[in-house]
């Protein structure tokens, strides 16, 4: 895959977001994503969990709550789930496990996720002024309020602005319009006030940008893909679920009164993105798991890793909230409550949110631990008091277990293992600090596995039925990997280098002789022009590439979207009309630097940390050499070299795409033509292992040599229509 194709990514993600086919799919997690297991199997004490359950029962006995459900999930296994107290106290109806609760402000992370998705799609920016989206905010008094202000509760909007019965509002646009009439408590960005209307305005923004009710967007992009089938934005039409919703109480100890029961009209005749979601503990745990996994669920990247990190970064200290989690302090991020150090500089240890009807959810991503405590007792502080006991009885044990697992990291399993069913495919195993392993299959996917109770066996972090295990020889060293990906068990022998293969120096020499990319230093700048067809998305446009030995510039015109990508002097930029200018960093920067044609068709030893000839395969009457190249930060890749001619004909790898994450990519090079004594592919076919992108074909039609481009035009700040 060349750097010149990488510029498609953000535009492809933007376009793919418009397709319901991929985003509306139901999750493959199945009906029970968190199967039941014994606490000891994940390093927790059943006795300690019983003590925690005893404390919740005491809350009922002392009348601090009417009823509640406790759900503890470790390593994606349910180690405790129990209900306490009453579904309806007057009728002496006990509360049942798997009840459906109004989670009130725990709705806020949901609308925050929707906003982050629109940012990933390139349809919204954090610094976008709300007045440019919602006419009610297009006034001088409110012109400074941005989307980020709303996400972080720093807009100046007050705690509440709803002054009428909810039945009098037509939709969220009405709610937002009323919020726009309120007096600001401070200048935007200068202070913090927890604001329900701010979150409702975010919902109105989602509806305005997408052209659909926010609840439909949430269903299509979040609830559906996560398999949250028992979560409801509106109760109208959810008749089968009503019996599972406990009666709602308010008041306090010895003064609880029932203010709603399932036979009453819904509390919310319209969906408020600040507080109207109904959900189960298991469904909400699915949502938490999405954020614990950096925006990924199973094989789908619903949210970019960058968005997940951005949204969870501590922003404002909540001084009025005490934390029961050791020395951690409570902070507000972007529609999330997070627990970090006193300065808010460290990555959050705990993420979650609470709701005013007595619902709480906490997640420890590093420990793969979730605790959910849902009640229907409005105004109770029992959940906050529960934190210290969770720390003592659950978290401290989980920390001890993870430290033990980390010390058990086994480096011996690292290496390559060949897929015996496919001569061109292999698996890359890399041990992780937590005792698990990462598995990469170039061109396909990257999967994460955690240790199981069986020695040398690792299970997928989301699917208990997907596993790998290592077979060892007489000396105790791994000799093969056995795997089950969907039921069929296969054995992949460990890679052993053959003495019959040519050396890497010999292979590089044939590639350099075939493509002659060294000529670039004499020719100067080359321009290629052609067309791009996005076959899966049924779209197309024009492409223009300029490159020399050190720099490259690529420009794509898809009509409504223009893209420019630039590489120069160890730096790289990307510009698009939806998202603006972005300078790449880290693995994305390294990826851009290495994906230029001059690198792919040149001397890999100059650019990669590890280069190795892996295997010779037969392709009809020809032979092809498989070469693995591994950079410092980005994933490694496989380059296919035609042994007779020295041509690079294919490349398999993994690429990091904003909005999708790590995606497999298989690239085929063809229609080779001579350009100034160099041999360049005029056809590049890219197959993305993601239904949201699919197959992309680039066909070059013309070229020009010795283009005179000023340095600032070729490879400085990318802008549209800039000369060269």
Domain ranges (residues) in the chain = 3-16+500-715, 30-99+302-407, 411-493
pLDDT of residue 422: 87
Going through 434-518 in order, the beta strands assigned E by DSSP cover 437-441, 445-451, 457-460, 467-472, 478-484, 489-493
Instruction: Decide the pairing of beta strands 257-260 and 93-94.
Output: unpaired
Which run of H or of E encompasses 608? Answer: none
C-alpha 712 chain-centroid distance: 35
Tokens 């299959």 belong to which residue?
A: 441
Contact 377, 362 (CB under 8 A): no
Write out pLDDT tens, residues 32-70. Answer: 689 999 999 888 999 999 999 999 999 999 999 999 999
Q: Which residues contact 487 (CB under 8 A, 6 or more apart)?
A: 465
**Of 21-25, 526-530, 564-568, minimum mean pLDDT range:** 21-25
- Say whether 411-493 and 30-99+302-407 share the same fold: no
Cα dihedral: 441, 604, 576, 24 (round 10): -10
pLDDT of residue 420: 85
Write out pLDDT tens, residues 460-498. Answer: 877 667 889 999 998 889 999 999 886 678 899 999 989
Contact 59, 68 (CB under 8 A): yes
What distance in Å separates the CA atoms of residue 298 and residue 227, rounded to the nearest whole number?
A: 11
pLDDT of residue 405: 53
Top-tier CATH class for 30-99+302-407: alpha beta
Say how many C-beta atoms besides its own lie within 10 A of residue 224's C-beta.
16
* Residues assigned a catalytic role: 105
CA distance readout (Å), 369 to 307, 354, 398 = 21, 17, 8
pLDDT of residue 409: 65
**Of 95-104, 227-236, 493-502, 581-590, minimum mean pLDDT range:** 581-590
What distance in Å separates the CA atoms of residue 637 and residue 641, rounded to the nearest whole number?
A: 13
Top-tier CATH class for 411-493: mainly beta
Which run of H or of E encompasses 416? Answer: strand 415-418
What distance in Å separates the CA atoms of residue 371 and residue 356, rounded to the nearest whole number?
A: 17
What distance in Å separates the CA atoms of residue 200 and residue 175, rounded to the nearest whole number?
A: 7
Instruction: Decide the pairing of beta strands 661-675 and 648-657.
Output: antiparallel
Write out pLDDT tens, residues 140-172. Answer: 999 999 999 999 999 999 999 999 999 999 999
Give mean pLDDT, residues 506-522: 95
Say how many C-beta atoms besides its own lie within 10 A of residue 534's C-beta.
21
Instruction: Decide the pairing of beta strands 101-102 and 329-332.
Output: unpaired
Q: Which two tokens stand for residue 646?
A: 């020295």
What distance in Å separates the CA atoms of residue 589 and residue 604, rounded to the nearest whole number?
A: 17
Write out pLDDT tens, residues 305-316. Answer: 899 999 999 999
Tokens 């490349």 belong to which residue?
A: 651
Percentage of the chain beyond pLDDT 70 is 91
Where on the phi/psi map is residue 352: left (φ > 0), alpha (ψ -120 to 50), or beta?
Answer: left
Q: According to the 3-state scheme, what is the secondary structure of 527-547?
A: EEEEEEEECCCCEEEEEEEEE
pLDDT of residue 244: 97
Report the mean per-residue pLDDT for the chain.
88
400 phi, psi to nearest 5 deg? -65, -40
- pLDDT of 670 > 50? The answer is yes
Q: What homologous superfamily is domain 3-16+500-715 in, according to CATH?
A: Lipoprotein localisation LolA/LolB/LppX (2.50.20.10)
């Amino acid at each position: 895959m060349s750097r010149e194709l990488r510029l498609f990514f953000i535009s492809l993600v933007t376009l793919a977001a418009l397709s319901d086919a991929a985003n509306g799919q139901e999750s493959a997690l199945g009906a029970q994503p968190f199967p039941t297991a014994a606490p000891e199997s994940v390093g927790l004490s059943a006795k300690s969990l019983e003590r925690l359950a005893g404390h919740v029962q005491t809350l009922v006995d002392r009348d601090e709550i009417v009823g509640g459900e406790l759900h503890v999930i470790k390593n994606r296994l349910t180690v405790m789930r129990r209900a306490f107290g009453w579904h309806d106290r007057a009728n002496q109806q006990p509360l049942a496990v798997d009840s459906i609760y109004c989670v009130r402000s725990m709705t806020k992370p949901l609308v925050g996720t929707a906003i982050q998705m629109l940012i990933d799609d390139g349809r919204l920016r954090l610094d976008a002024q709300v007045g440019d989206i919602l006419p009610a905010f297009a006034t001088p008094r409110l012109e400074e309020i941005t989307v980020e202000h709303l996400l972080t509760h720093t807009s100046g909007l007050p705690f509440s602005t709803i002054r009428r019965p909810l039945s009098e509002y037509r939709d969220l646009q009405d709610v937002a319009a009323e919020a726009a009439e309120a007096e600001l408590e401070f200048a935007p960005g200068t202070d913090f006030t927890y604001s329900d209307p701010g979150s409702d305005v975010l919902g109105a923004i989602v509806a305005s940008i997408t052209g659909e009710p926010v609840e439909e967007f949430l269903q299509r992009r979040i609830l559906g893909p996560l398999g949250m089938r028992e979560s409801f934005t509106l109760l109208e039409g959810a008749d089968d679920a009503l019996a599972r919703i406990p009666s709602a109480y308010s008041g306090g100890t010895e003064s609880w009164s029932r203010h709603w029961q399932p036979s009453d009209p819904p509390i919310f005749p319209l969906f408020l993105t600040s507080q109207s979601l109904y959900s189960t503990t298991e469904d909400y745990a699915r949502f938490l798991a999405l954020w614990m996994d950096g925006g990924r669920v199973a094989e789908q990247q619903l949210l970019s890793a960058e968005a997940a990190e951005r949204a969870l970064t501590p922003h404002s200290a909540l001084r009025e909230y005490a934390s029961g989690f050791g020395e951690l302090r409570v902070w507000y991020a972007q529609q999330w409550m997070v627990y970090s150090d006193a300065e808010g500089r460290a990555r959050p240890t705990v993420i979650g949110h609470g709701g005013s009807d007595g619902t709480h959810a906490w997640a420890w991503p590093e420990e793969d631990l979730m605790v959910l405590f849902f009640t229907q007792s409005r105004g109770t502080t029992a959940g906050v008091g529960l934190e210290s006991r969770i720390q003592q009885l659950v978290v401290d044990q989980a920390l001890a277990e993870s430290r033990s697992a980390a010390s058990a990291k086994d480096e011996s399993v690292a290496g390559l293992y060949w897929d015996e069913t496919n001569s061109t495919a292999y698996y890359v195993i890399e041990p992780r600090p937590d005792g698990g392993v990462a598995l990469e299959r170039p061109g396909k996917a990257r999967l994460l596995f955690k240790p199981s109770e069986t020695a040398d066996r690792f299970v997928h972090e989301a699917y208990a039925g997907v596993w790998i295990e290592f077979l060892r020889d007489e000396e105790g060293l791994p000799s093969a990997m056995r795997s089950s990906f969907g039921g069929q068990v296969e054995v992949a022998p460990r890679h052993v280098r053959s003495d019959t293969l040519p050396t890497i120096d010999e292979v590089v020499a044939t590639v350099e002789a075939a493509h002659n990319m060294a000529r670039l230093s004499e020719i100067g700048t080359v321009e290629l022009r052609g067309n791009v067809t996005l076959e899966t998305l049924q779209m197309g446009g024009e492409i223009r590439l300029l490159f020399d030995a050190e720099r490259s510039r690529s420009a794509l015109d898809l009509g409504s979207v223009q893209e420019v990508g630039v590489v120069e002097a160890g730096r790289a930029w990307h510009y698009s009309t939806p998202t603006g200018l972005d300078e790449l960093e880290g693995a994305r920067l390294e990826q851009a630097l290495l994906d230029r044609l001059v690198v792919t068709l040149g001397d890999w030893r100059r650019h990669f940390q590890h280069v190795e000839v892996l295997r010779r395969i037969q392709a009809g009457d020809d032979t092809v050499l498989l070469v693995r190249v591994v950079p410092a930060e980005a994933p490694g890749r496989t380059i296919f070299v035609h042994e007779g001619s020295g041509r690079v004909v294919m490349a398999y790898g993994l690429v990091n795409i904003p909005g999708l994450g790590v995606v497999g990519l298989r690239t085929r090079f063809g229609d080779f033509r001579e350009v100034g004594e160099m041999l360049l592919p005029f056809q590049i076919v890219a197959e993305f292992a993601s239904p949201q992108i699919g197959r992309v074909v680039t066909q070059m039609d013309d070229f020009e040599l010795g283009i005179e481009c000023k340095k600032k035009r070729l490879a400085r700040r990318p802008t549209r229509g800039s000369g060269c």
